[in-house]
A and B are shown apart, each in its own frame.
Chain A
């Protein structure tokens, strides 16, 4: 895109404009996707509970999220008097921004990636580790008990699961031999016979299962939604928030869930590659494959949310530290041992 703009502009301006266009090209569809995926989530959840779900606003209730958005936009932003004002308003902005930032390195198609950097996967890790601050700052600046409890829970939870996610990603990186997201996708091409994707590899399949579960814990989705356990903590860290500030948390949460689904697709299921390495399947554009995979994982997330009861906090910590951490560590040893044995690095 930079070349396109540099026909008329000096290089710096063309680069700036191209990057801006790229950001908008990702952010706007993403916002739309978040609005729609909230509707999808409610529909799936309703269907599993034998309810109808949103069906009044627009055809099939498709416009429900937009109606909610409009309503929230028109509400008054209430800032409780005892809050630390600047931080209170900054926290939802941080959450939302960070949720959008990581999309910069997701490859949507062969060349369709905003920032094709060497350390793409590390960038995702770095940005997702920033997400803690939106929560923890919200909990602290609210100056209220339940948000504070929730913030502490959330940050402990996110730190715990980031450790095992890190080790799982190391397995993927060892096999792919690169941190570049595009490189990781391409490394999965016909990985096992004709199958595109690390997940078909017996050594990496357990890693994918753990990554999916860790992703649910990392994004605080059910059954790990202890930070928003309404029976214990009112509404968690967002208790004191109202109107648009609350909506930013809501949107940020779903953008993060979509990101986790996208990471599942990119790291383990071949990203924009079709599931089978057959020439006829490449006729379908790559981004359609990617979106189909994201949707599939989102369905799994919703399915789990609708069916699995909430974990107890000690069970959550036990799963993270006593099960996932040792197992993922073991698999780092297994994978690197196998790769050394087969001369993968030579």
Chain B
């Protein structure tokens, strides 16, 4: 009974938060609703028995990705009127996207109902044999069966990261860099000197 209550709670909150993500007028509120949706989705994951995925969802999406979203959205100077404009123009495209997403969801439901995949069972019970921990099961698959693909994914991410750094990096000549080693090595007697300058000659401007 507790599971059922928790499921309906999390599912309803996920749906409501998802709807409010789209409907709220303020983009910052949208991101915050998105975070609520992520969090409740993590709750659903726990209910299915995938606690590792749930924690990763919170750590990666809520803890890192959404913070960056929030950063960007908060610092943009958003004109709310301009956001509303172009609704009619973009409407057909939006409908198209929505139709594609709906078709995907329906196909997903159909596949699970058909029982073609071994990913999960329709009644929500975890396919992992009892007694195996989530992390061990995922680790065994990732580092055993799919080791090559996993490593390739890592290399691709590394290349993407280096690419992003190279593209956005610019050498700035007009700022003085901080040399921490030199700053730490400085001693008082080399930092301050007592001078006895003549009147009007003490400063060079």
Contacts and interface: CB of A to CB of B under 8 A. Distances in A.
A87 to B, nearest CB: 7
Instruction: Provide the main secondary structure of the chain A interface.
Output: helix
Contact of B133 (A118, A137, A155): A118
A179 B135 contact: yes
A136 interface: yes
Contacts of B1: 12
Nearest to B75: A152
Interface string A89-121: 000000000000000000000000000011100
Given A129-B59, A130-B63, A155-B67, A140 B28 contact: yes
A122 B62 CA distance: 13
B59 A125 contact: yes
B112 interface: no
B180 A315 contact: yes
A126 interface: yes
A125 B67 contact: no
B13 to A, nearest CB: 15
A5 interface: no
Interface residues of A, number: 29
A89 B23 CA distance: 22
B180 A122 contact: no
Interface in B30-78: 32, 35, 42, 51-52, 55-56, 58-59, 62-64, 67, 70-71, 74-75
A318 B184 CA distance: 14
Interface in B166-190: 178, 180
B88 interface: no
B2 interface: yes
A314 B176 CA distance: 13
Contacts of A262: none
Contact of A137 (B2, B32, B52, B71): B32
Nearest to A319: B180
Given A129-B59, A136-B70, A118 B51 contact: yes
A159 B67 contact: yes
Interface string B133-144: 111000000000
A123 B2 contact: no
Nearest to B64: A159
A315 B177 CA distance: 12
Contact of A119 (B2, B52, B75): B52
Interface in A120-149: 122-123, 125-127, 129-130, 132-133, 136-137, 140, 148
B134 A130 contact: no
A130 B62 contact: yes
B56 A122 contact: yes
A162 interface: yes
A122 B67 contact: no
B35 A133 contact: yes
A117 B133 CA distance: 11
A318 B42 CA distance: 33
A122 B63 contact: no
Nearest to A179: B135
A126 B63 contact: yes
A119 B35 contact: no
Contact of B135 (A118, A136, A155, A159): A118
B53 to A, nearest CB: 10
A15 interface: yes
A58 B86 CA distance: 67
Contacts of A133: 32, 35, 67
Contacts of B71: 152, 155
24 contacts: A12-B1, A16-B2, A87-B32, A118-B52, A118-B135, A119-B52, A119-B135, A122-B55, A125-B55, A125-B59, A129-B62, A129-B63, A129-B64, A130-B58, A130-B62, A133-B32, A133-B35, A136-B67, A148-B74, A152-B75, A155-B70, A155-B71, A159-B64, A159-B67
Interface of B: 1-2, 26, 28-29, 32, 35, 42, 51-52, 55-56, 58-59, 62-64, 67, 70-71, 74-75, 133-135, 178, 180
4 A-B pairs with the lowest CB-CB distances in the bound complex, closest first: A129-B63, A126-B58, A122-B55, A126-B59
Given A155-B67, A155-B70, 4 more contacts: A123-B55, A129-B63, A132-B67, A159-B63
